[in-house]
């Protein structure tokens, strides 16, 4: 099932590449998506909707809000409660410098 998750994530990565946003999804997040997107009746068919609802939509909201910017790397991991989506910026970026100054 994680192979199918990888295929679906590649599509999302291509969309994000237009904005130079890199997606780093760890194995925990892939397993979480695989588990949430699998149905005994429908197999992997619900996976695309799960990825859209749990990953793509939150990413789009954060891009629109400005918390994820063009050129960012976004790390995705999972907890028992769901996915954790965090932008990672290199040391010295505007936000990192502001936090250090405070």
Return the CATH number at 26.
1.10.8.60
Q: How many CB atoms lie within 10 A of CB 37?
A: 23
User: For the purposes of burial, counting CB atoms within 10 Å of the CB of 10, is it exposed (0-12), middle (13-18) or buried (19 or more)?
Assistant: exposed
Model-level pTM? 0.80
Give the chain's domain count.
Answer: 1
Angle between helix 2-17 and 27-36 (nearest 10): 110
Structure tokens at 89: 């910026």
- 22-33 pLDDT per residue, tens: 999 999 999 999
% the chain with pLDDT above 90? 71
Match 């990825």 to its residue by tokens. 51
The domain containing residue 39 runs over which residues? 2-101
% the chain with pLDDT above 70? 87
């Amino acid at each position: 099932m994680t192979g199918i998750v990888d295929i679906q994530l590649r599509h999302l990565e291509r969309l994000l590449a237009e904005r130079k946003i890199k997606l780093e999804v760890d194995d925990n997040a892939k397993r979480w998506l695989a588990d949430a997107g699998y149905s005994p009746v429908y197999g992997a068919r619900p996976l695309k909707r799960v990825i859209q609802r749990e990953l793509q939509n939150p990413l789009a909201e954060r891009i629109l809000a400005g918390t994820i910017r063009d050129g960012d790397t976004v790390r995705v991991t999972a907890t028992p409660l769901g996915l954790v989506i965090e932008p990672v910026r290199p040391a010295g970026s505007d936000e990192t410098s502001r936090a250090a100054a405070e």
